């Protein structure tokens, strides 16, 4: 059964390119991204893992740890990492899970039989410090992920977890946000001292509160 937003993120103990880890223990108080790759030595995945390595400072700034999974074994991963570092001009600095028995892929419903009986789709799970699923994205194996969107989702999740706001269409850091309907009009000045704009009674905008 597919994991849904709000579900507990299944824990696992696995071998990775960075050694053995217990997922929940490794995550600690950080946010986490777990994302899957159809197989090692595949072209799109190579670019994605390289991009992840280049974005390490951005993930660190957001207190977010990244963990990749592929159904190939550890030896294969280690060889592939050398290729990634060479071709993408990077240093892969995050764990890649060896999942030949498909334990993680199955727990997170990453294999979609109508697409492929063996390879994982491009799943992305955003996991909070409370070890719950906060969001997920799923692409077919042929479509590489948009990492600007992945960072945008993290920014939105972290902002909306701390303030009574939601992020509108195409929102990025620094733009105005929506005040949630649960906030009463009379409480807005105390909660949002930067001011607000009423477009409709149900559509109230305010500057991003943590900027």
pLDDT, residue 120, reads 65
Catalytic residue among 45, 110, 159, 183: 45
What gap in Å lies between CA 114 and CA 112, rounded to an integer?
6
pLDDT, residue 141, reads 80
Closest Cα to residue 107, out of 13, 203, 207? 13
- For 2-29, how does the pLDDT look when each residue is reduced to its tens digit (9 = 90+)? 899 999 999 999 999 999 999 999 999 9
Residues 99, 69: contact at Cβ < 8 Å? yes
The conformational region for residue 59 under phi > 0 = left, psi -120 to 50 = alpha, else beta, is alpha
pLDDT, residue 142, reads 85
pLDDT, residue 121, reads 67
pLDDT, residue 91, reads 97
Q: DSSP states of 26-86 as a string?
A: HHTTSEEEEEEES-TT-HHHHHHHHHHHHTHHHHHHTTEEEEEEESS-HHHHHHHHHHHHH
Show the tokens assigned to 94: 């995050």
Which parts of the chain have pLDDT scores under 50?
Answer: none
pLDDT, residue 111, reads 74
pLDDT, residue 112, reads 64
Q: Is 45 a catalytic residue?
A: yes
């Amino acid at each position: 059964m597919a994991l849904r937003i709000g579900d507990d993120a299944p824990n696992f103990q696995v071998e990775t390119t960075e050694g053995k880890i217990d997922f929940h223990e490794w995550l600690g108080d950080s946010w986490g991204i777990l994302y899957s790759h159809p197989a090692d030595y595949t072209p799109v995945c190579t670019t994605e893992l390289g991009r992840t390595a280049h974005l390490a400072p951005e993930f660190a700034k957001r207190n977010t740890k990244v963990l990749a999974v592929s159904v190939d074994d550890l030896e294969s991963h280690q060889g592939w990492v050398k290729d990634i570092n060479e071709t993408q001009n990077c240093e892969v600095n995050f764990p890649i899970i060896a999942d030949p028995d498909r334990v993680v892929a199955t727990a997170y419903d990453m294999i979609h039989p109508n697409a492929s009986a063996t390879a994982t789709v491009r799943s992305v799970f955003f996991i909070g410090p409370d070890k719950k699923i906060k969001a997920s994205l799923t692409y077919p194996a042929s479509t590489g992920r948009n990492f600007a969107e992945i960072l945008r989702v993290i920014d939105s999740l972290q902002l909306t977890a701390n303030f009574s706001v939601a992020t509108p269409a195409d929102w990025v850091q620094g733009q105005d946000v929506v005040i949630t309907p649960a906030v009463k009009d009379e409480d807005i000045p105390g909660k949002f001292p930067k001011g607000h704009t009423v477009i409709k009674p149900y559509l109230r905008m305010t500057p991003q509160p943590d900027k």
